[in-house]
Amino acid sequence: MRLCIKLFLLGALCVTIGLPQAQQGVPENAVTRVSDHVYAIIGFPNIAYVVGTRATLVVDTGMGPRNGAIVAREAQRLAKGPALYLTTTHFHPEHAAGESAFPANTILIRPSAQQDEIGRRGTEYIDLFSSRSAQNKELLQGVKLRQADIVFDREATLDLGGVTVRLFWWGAAHTKGDELIFVPEDSVLIPGDIVQNKLVPNMPNEDASVKGWLSLLDQLEPLKPRYVVPDHGALGDGSLIGKERAFLVDVQRRALELKRQGTSVEEAGKLLQSELKAKYPDWENMNPIPNVVRRVYEEAR
């Protein structure tokens, strides 16, 4: 939470208040039931569990082994069967860097594109997140991301006993290796960062893609999920897919217009940030907009 105090003649003084632990962590004893076989923890990030009679799948680890241990303990409490699978929606440290806290028999599965990305950018991102705060630095101390036990190309299906899980990789969007998870029996979509609830898509660097993101949303639409468990923000239903798409199409259309008019990418970023703030007042934070605009400009070349 940011608190701003207006001081006479001195402008505004802004300080960050709140509980940094809660912001960077996954709370213990806070599991909520989503559907017959799916559970979630709302934290940073959200964690999802799919529980079958034979095996449990955990989606994402939390930031570093301290959060990973909480996530793994909750998996053991929920489990009905002996086998434990872990998957990561993408390689960013709050999603993947808690893996070492999981028990030795954990079967780690992820798309090969994501595993390649870990080799290419894993350490860079651990260093980047560590540099953002002392707390991150401590949480990520000594973390190395390991090779998955199972890698798949575009799709894998896990039979957990009484419930199946489909894991997809359909190309780059937030990262090169974004994974999407669907539980057909419960009609639950676990889309990582790809479908969120009133949060601007985050496209931090040249590995992200607006066109790729829109194509993922088009492929998700026919699944018509009843429940969506995004990685960040509040849980929702299948209508989130269309809302995400409409927002992104809006940004893309306006950015292309501005590009055609000769507006610089920096100027267009600033302009759209304020335009969209007015158009989508209940969306939380427009700061990621300039990077989305940058991606639109790059893709239009």
Report the Cα 240 to chain-centroid distance in Å: 14
Tell which residue, 44, 80, 37, 57, has the closest CA to residue 188: 37
User: Does 245 help bind Zn ion (rule: CB under 5 A)?
Assistant: no
Minimum CB–partner distance for residue 297 and Zn ion (Å): 22
Q: Which is nearer to Zn ion, 81 or 290 (CB)?
A: 290
Q: Which of residues 277-296 bind Zn ion (CB under 5 A)?
A: none
The least distance separating Zn ion from the CB of residue 293, rounded to whole angstroms, comes to 19
Minimum distance from residue 92 beta carbon to Zn ion (Å): 4
Q: How many residues bind Zn ion (CB under 5 A)?
A: 1
Nearer to Zn ion, 164 or 197 (CB): 197
Closest CB to Zn ion among residues 92, 295: 92
Helices (H), the chain: 20-24, 64-78, 93-96, 112-130, 134-139, 210-220, 239-260, 265-279, 289-299
Choices 8-16, 88-96, 110-118, 242-250 (CB under 5 A): range interacting with Zn ion: 88-96
Q: With contacts defined by CB under 5 A, name the span among 29-37, 86-94, 99-107, 140-148 that binds Zn ion.
A: 86-94
Regarding 176 and contact with Zn ion (CB under 5 A), the answer is no
Indicate whether 92 belongs to the interface with Zn ion (CB under 5 A). yes
| Count of C-beta atoms within a 10 Å radius of residue 181 | 22
Closest Cα partner for 175 from 148, 212, 200, 140?
212
Q: Which of 81, 85, 94 is nearest to 183 (CA)?
A: 85
264 exposure class (CB count in 10 Å sphere: 0-12, 13-18, 19+): exposed
> How many other C-beta atoms can be found within 10 angstroms of the C-beta atom of residue 300?
13
Closest CB to Zn ion: residue number: 92
Q: Supply the minimum distance, in Å, between the C-beta of residue 85 and Zn ion.
A: 21
Please state the closest distance from residue 104 (CB atom) to Zn ion, in A.
Answer: 27
Q: Which is nearer to Zn ion, 92 or 110 (CB)?
A: 92
Backbone angles phi, psi at 99, to 5 degrees: -60, -35
d(CA 258, CA 247) in angstroms, rounded, equals 17
Choose one: 18-26, 89-97, 246-254, 255-263; the region binding Zn ion (CB under 5 A).
Answer: 89-97
Q: Whose Cβ is closer to Zn ion: residue 66's or residue 92's?
A: 92
Residue whose CB is less far from Zn ion, 37 or 92: 92
Q: How far is the CB of 185 from Zn ion (least distance, A)?
A: 28
Length of the chain: 301
Q: Which stretch binds Zn ion (CB under 5 A): 25-33, 70-78, 87-95, 274-282?
A: 87-95
> For residues 63 and 268, which CB has a smaller minimum distance to Zn ion in the complex?
63
Stretch in the footprint of Zn ion (CB under 5 A) among 70-78, 91-99, 132-140, 261-269: 91-99
Distance CA 257, CA 85 (A): 46
Instruction: Select from 55-63, 92-100, 111-119, 217-225 the region that touches Zn ion (CB under 5 A).
Output: 92-100
Q: Is 254 in the site for Zn ion (CB under 5 A)?
A: no
DSSP β-ladder status, 164-168 and 155-159: antiparallel
Q: Are strands 55-59 and 83-87 parallel, antiparallel or unpaired?
A: parallel
Residue 65's region, left for phi above 0, alpha for psi from -120 to 50, else beta, is alpha
Contact footprint for Zn ion (CB under 5 A)? 92
